[in-house]
């Protein structure tokens, strides 16, 4: 709305200065300082406009967008020496609010993994190299766990079909749950790490 006003500002000013309007109403026109402040507000809010359009223009917004956009907004709302006092106040207010969001380790891990699996953001340029390594390590761990669970499920189904009931398959296991060794998940496909390395090394999609 503010940017639209600036586009139409000459026409609005001309209309307010017309004798017909000023004769009927007492109108205090905007000063040059008011116009300058309006331009500064539009400049300060431009990153929010870009982020909003980025989300709204997608037919199916995904969670993988959140971490890159959040990091970009935090970067764009940092004050600079060239900023006017009004722009600094606006940026500080926005930056302070965004800094409180998605701060827990659970939220960060979830958002980072989602972005790593998205071809558009898999290079993870908004993270430090150590954070990128940690994120892809989590991806490998989760993928290996899923593959291990799938293998265990397939083996269980095969045993039931071949052996029938547990009574016919062999003697019962008298070992108590407390005496059983902890279950170690089966390692995933040895090519899994290689595939993920290729995925992370390819350029991001536009």
Where along the chain do its domains lie?
Answer: 31-103, 104-158+185-206
**CB within 8 Å of 7: residues ≥ 6 apart:** none
Closest CA relative to residue 147, chosen from 181, 193, 200, 85: 193
Q: What is this structure's pTM?
A: 0.65
**CB within 8 Å of 72: residues ≥ 6 apart:** 47, 51, 126
| Residue 165 confidence (pLDDT) | 47
> What does the alpha-carbon distance between residue 76 and residue 44 come to, in Å, rounded to a whole number?
9
| Residue 187 confidence (pLDDT) | 47
pLDDT along the chain (206 residues), means of 10: 77 72 62 83 90 87 92 93 91 95 94 93 91 93 82 59 49 52 48 60 61
């Amino acid at each position: 709305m503010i940017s639209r006003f600036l586009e139409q500002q000459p026409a609005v000013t001309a209309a307010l200065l017309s004798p017909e309007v000023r004769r009927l109403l007492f109108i205090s026109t905007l000063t040059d300082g008011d116009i300058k402040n309006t331009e500064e507000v539009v400049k300060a809010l431009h990153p929010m406009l870009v982020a909003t359009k980025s989300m709204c223009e997608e037919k199916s917004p995904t969670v993988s967008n959140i971490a890159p956009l959040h990091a970009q907004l935090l970067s764009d709302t940092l004050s600079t020496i060239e900023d006017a006092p009004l722009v600094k106040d606006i940026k500080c207010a926005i930056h302070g609010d965004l800094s409180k969001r998605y701060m827990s380790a659970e939220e960060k891990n979830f958002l980072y993994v989602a972005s790593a699996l998205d071809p558009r953001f898999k290079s993870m340029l908004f993270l430090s190299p150590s954070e990128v390594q940690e994120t892809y390590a989590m991806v490998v761990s989760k993928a290996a766990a899923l593959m291990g669970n799938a293998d265990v499920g397939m083996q269980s189904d095969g045993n039931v079909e071949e052996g029938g009931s547990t009574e016919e398959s062999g003697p019962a296991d008298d070992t108590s749950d407390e005496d059983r060794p902890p279950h170690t998940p089966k390692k995933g496909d040895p090519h899994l790490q290689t595939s993920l390395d290729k995925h992370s090394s390819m350029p991001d999609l536009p």
